[in-house]
Structure 1
Amino acid sequence: MSTDTASRTSRGPVLRTERALAPDLARGAMLLIIALANVAGVVFAGEPGLDATPEGVDRGLNLLLFDLVHARGYPVFAVMFGYGLVQLARRQDASGATPQQVRSVLLRRNLWLVVFGFAHAALLYYGDFLGAYGIVGIAMTLLLLRRGDRVHRIALVLWALAAVEVLALGVIVVITILGGTGGSAPLPSTHVDSLAATDYVAAMLDRLGEWPTHTLTVLPFVMIAWLGMWAARRRVLEEPARHRTLLTWTAILGLGMAIVGGLPAALLSAGWLHVDESTAGLTLLLHGASGMFAGPGYVAVFGLIALRATRSGPVVGALSALGQRSLSGYLMQSVAWLVLLAPFMLALGDRFGSPTVTGLVIAVAVWLATVLIARQLDRRGRPGPAEFVLRRLAYPPRA
């Protein structure tokens, strides 16, 4: 999640440093992708969120969601999580903290993220990522943080192997589609009981059962977070001008693979491709595997935007303010889904015609509300409420 605006060491003083624009901009914009992805799942009580019988404009919206959003938001989160871990450690190092003190702070912070994740899942939303982030953060702090370049280059090898796997899977999917006899199988989807529950207590009990399984399924994103750690060690986003070529090619190749790899599932979700059940499963597998490349792809785009933007601009300033308070922004979205969309609350998803359109409008509106709130907090020099609590828990009290 967001790095701290002020790092406190165990010896007490608060260190304030000038923040690079690109990481904060990426985190702020990333929350829009997260909102669009999550709201669809909440509206349709499934994963991925999908109108199984789209008509009219919903067909195009399904295609765009599957090609640009679904399984493409959390990789951005993961890249920025790994990046932020190195940023936090670097700020602690600059303040004079010892390696042992830095490790202690990061371990406490990630342990509390696990606690935050459990509370988030129990009270608000089953699809929590904070718990998994905390577990991965602990592992990365202990095993990777102080390693040399030779170890961190392993991440690049793993990504190269993943690219080969996606390309091979893509060829198999294309051959299967071209050689198939058609069909009418829908995209596989998993029903989420907590999102369809008719009262809060039942939803909470369902979430308590769903959260551990969901957390285990997303733990493999450690490979994505590791790439973020590699990039942070080279200050790719702090110094985007020096890494313009790398950012450009990462944006082109990363988003290119995500978009092309997601296209078969996107066409199927829109009702413009008809395949049998086994082929539908393969398209969804390709969709998920290619989605991880959207993480570095989107982040690279934000880095390139930061080259031409200034924090003093109203739009960029507001987005970067939200980026500094991304944990609060993320949790505020879950509160909004519960109040606005839960069947036992306002249940707005089914009240205005197309649930897909309604969900997307709500997602954008909620995200814009968090942008405006973050901007006001930034003008007053205040952190987000979740960042304030996490900082008080993670950092030792001032002497």
Structure 2
Amino acid sequence: MGQTTGMPLLPATTKGPVPRAYRALAPDLARGGMLLFIALANAANFAFAGQPGLDGAPYGFQRVINFFLVAFVDSRAYPVFALMFGYGLVQLARRSDAAGTATRRILLRRNAWLVGFGAAHATLLYYGDFLGAYGIVGILATLLLLRRGDRFHSAVLWLWGLQLASVAVLAGRLVVDAKGGDAAVTNSPNPSLAATSYGNSVVDRLAEWPAHTAAVLPFIVVVWLGMWSGRRRILEDPAAHRVLLRCVAAGGLAVAFLGGLPYALVAAGAIHVDTATLEATAYLHSASGMSGGPGYVALFGLLALRFPKGRQLSSVEAVAALGRRSLSGYLLQSVAWTALFVPFTLDLGGSTYTAFAAAVAVWIVSVLAAGALEARGQRGPAEWLLRRLTYGR
């Protein structure tokens, strides 16, 4: 693949976690920064015991929050982590190959344990878990995609072209068929989030999690795009890919924003449509959200260029530290939402403002905690456990 510029090369025989001096900033910064958007989406889901987690009759500043969540967060944050997951698979495989270890066995074991993490997370805390889906997709990617050649991997670009074409068709049909009316955004209920006892919530989650996991497995296409990017070390050397990153950031975020704009305007109460049009705007919003993944990742790649090693602000270092502990940060959020919003704990749900403030506050706390762990040279507890289970002592 050639050398990267702007960062030292990791010795080929290195095993274990990548030392900070050898880590590229962009992947960690993207993971840490986008955990804020994950917090905003999931806190709202808990607060309203359903998806998309919006007040259907917003007023005042709630309209602004609804617009922001729909246009920039919902269905636009999780593709970032799917893309970074694929990128990370390639990095792990490259390091394992260089160290002479059994790459396929390690990756399969790690992803199998991710499925286990997901099952535990979903059973104990939150049905909307993505870890199990990542583990399943990681196993499939390891077996079917990882060892393929460049020509095979280029097929994912054609798939993305088809996806963009489908978004354009959906947008065109919406323009032609849109009608006014009085339909309102309503939350699809999640029984586990409205359960009045912990035992009932566990029973509900055991039914909800498998269906949710099956529904999100198609993000393997986003993971595949991450693998394509990882093979080219795009985020490890963003300076050499500046033009590509600019085009992807501008194009991806434009598609995500414009595709989500009609639904965002309805959610904000700015326009009023009939039921059929509302359903069409929601479908376009979901389909266009996938483009937010590469768009946001490219944006963080460009942002990383502004903070070369030795000149990074302490706040940037702390966010990147959270990115290195994103698994722990993600699980911490579910603990926080359970403590704050479900009926059998503090029961603070039902308020857009409370959900938004809680999301920002919990993210800030996780950034500070990650910075403290970084200062002591300690990994996040979930990262430590996953590594121990994958590699042993």
Q: Smaller-chain TM-score range?
A: over 0.9
Whole-Å Cα distance in 1 between the matches of residues 273 and 14 of structure 2?
62
Whole-Å Cα distance in 2 between the matches of residues 149 and 131 of structure 1?
28
Matches for 1:130-141 after TM superposition, within 5 Å = 130-141=131-142
Q: Find the counterpart in structure 2 of residue 377 from structure 1.
A: 373
Q: Find the counterpart in structure 2 of residue 38 from structure 1.
A: 42
Q: Find the counterpart in structure 2 of residue 285 from structure 1.
A: 283
Whole-Å Cα distance in 1 between the matches of residues 35 and 74 of structure 2?
13
1:305-340 Cα distance to aligned partner (Å, 9 max, x none): 000114542011101101110000000000000011
Q: Find the counterpart in structure 2 of residue 4 from structure 1.
A: none
Whole-Å Cα distance in 2 between the matches of residues 60 and 372 of structure 1?
28
Residue pair 1:327, 1:387 contacting (<8 A) in 2 also:
yes
Instruction: State the SS of the aligned residue for 2:74.
Output: coil
Q: Find the counterpart in structure 2 of residue 387 from structure 1.
A: 383
Matches for 1:54-133 after TM superposition, within 5 Å = 54-97=58-101, 101-133=102-134
> Residue 174 in 1 paired to residue 175 in 2?
yes
Q: Find the counterpart in structure 2 of residue 201 from structure 1.
A: 199
Whole-Å Cα distance in 2 between the matches of residues 371 and 335 of structure 1?
16
Q: Find the counterpart in structure 2 of residue 364 from structure 1.
A: 360
Residue pair 1:187, 1:281 contacting (<8 A) in 2 also:
no
1:62-116 Cα distance to aligned partner (Å, 9 max, x none): 111100001111111111111111111111122222xxx1010000000000000
Q: CA deviation at 1:272?
A: 1.3
AA of the residue aligned to 2:66 = N
AA of the residue aligned to 1:318 = A
1:97-152 Cα distance to aligned partner (Å, 9 max, x none): 2xxx1010000000000000000000011100000000000000001111101110
Instruction: State the SS of the aligned residue for 1:198.
Output: coil
Matched-pair identity in %: 58
Instruction: State the SS of the aligned residue for 1:184.
Output: strand
Matches for 1:232-251 after TM superposition, within 5 Å = 232-251=230-249
Instruction: Give the TM-score taking structure 1 as reference length.
Output: 0.92
Instruction: State the SS of the aligned residue for 1:34.
Output: helix
Whole-Å Cα distance in 1 between the matches of residues 114 and 88 of structure 2?
14
Q: Find the counterpart in structure 2 of residue 326 from structure 1.
A: 326
Seen in structure 2, the aligned counterparts of structure 1 residues 16 and 64 have a Cα distance that, compared at 3 Å, is closer
1:200-234 Cα distance to aligned partner (Å, 9 max, x none): 11111111110000000000000011101100100
Q: Find the counterpart in structure 1 of residue 4 from structure 2.
A: none
Instruction: State the SS of the aligned residue for 1:308.
Output: coil
Whole-Å Cα distance in 1 between the matches of residues 92 and 329 of structure 2?
19
Whole-Å Cα distance in 2 between the matches of residues 14 and 224 of structure 1?
27
Residue pair 1:258, 1:293 contacting (<8 A) in 2 also:
yes
Q: CA deviation at 1:361?
A: 0.5
Instruction: State the SS of the aligned residue for 2:337.
Output: helix
Instruction: Find 2:259's aligned residue among 241, 258, 261.
Output: 261
Which structure 1 segments of 5+ residues have no match? 1-6
Residue pair 1:126, 1:207 contacting (<8 A) in 2 also:
yes
Deviating 4+ runs (over 4 angstroms): 11-17
AA of the residue aligned to 1:142 = L
AA of the residue aligned to 1:323 = G
Residue pair 2:341, 2:347 contacting (<8 A) in 1 also:
yes
1:346-390 Cα distance to aligned partner (Å, 9 max, x none): 12235xxxx111101100000111111111111111100000000
Q: CA deviation at 1:12?
A: 10
Instruction: State the SS of the aligned residue for 2:154.
Output: helix
Residue pair 1:322, 1:329 contacting (<8 A) in 2 also:
yes
RMSD: 1.6
AA of the residue aligned to 1:238 = E
Instruction: State the SS of the aligned residue for 2:214.
Output: helix
Residue pair 2:48, 2:187 contacting (<8 A) in 1 also:
no
1:159-211 Cα distance to aligned partner (Å, 9 max, x none): 0000000011011111222xx2x111123541100111111111111111100
Whole-Å Cα distance in 1 between the matches of residues 259 and 323 of structure 2?
29
Q: CA deviation at 1:13?
A: 5.5
Matches for 1:6-21 after TM superposition, within 5 Å = 14=16, 16-17=18-19, 18-21=22-25
Whole-Å Cα distance in 2 between the matches of residues 188 and 233 of structure 1?
42
Residue pair 1:188, 1:281 contacting (<8 A) in 2 also:
no
Matches for 1:215-234 after TM superposition, within 5 Å = 215-234=213-232
Whole-Å Cα distance in 2 between the matches of residues 25 and 254 of structure 1?
19
Whole-Å Cα distance in 1 between the matches of residues 147 and 229 of structure 2?
15
Which structure 2 segments of 5+ residues have no match? 1-9
AA of the residue aligned to 1:348 = L
AA of the residue aligned to 1:324 = R
Whole-Å Cα distance in 2 between the matches of residues 196 and 295 of structure 1?
30
Q: Find the counterpart in structure 2 of residue 51 from structure 1.
A: 55
Instruction: Give the TM-score taking structure 2 as reference length.
Output: 0.94
> Residue 341 in 1 paired to residue 341 in 2?
yes
Residue pair 2:14, 2:95 contacting (<8 A) in 1 also:
no
Whole-Å Cα distance in 2 between the matches of residues 342 and 124 of structure 1?
11
Whole-Å Cα distance in 2 between the matches of residues 184 and 146 of structure 1?
53
Whole-Å Cα distance in 1 between the matches of residues 58 and 289 of structure 2?
23
Q: Find the counterpart in structure 1 of residue 301 from structure 2.
A: 303
Residue pair 1:195, 1:342 contacting (<8 A) in 2 also:
yes
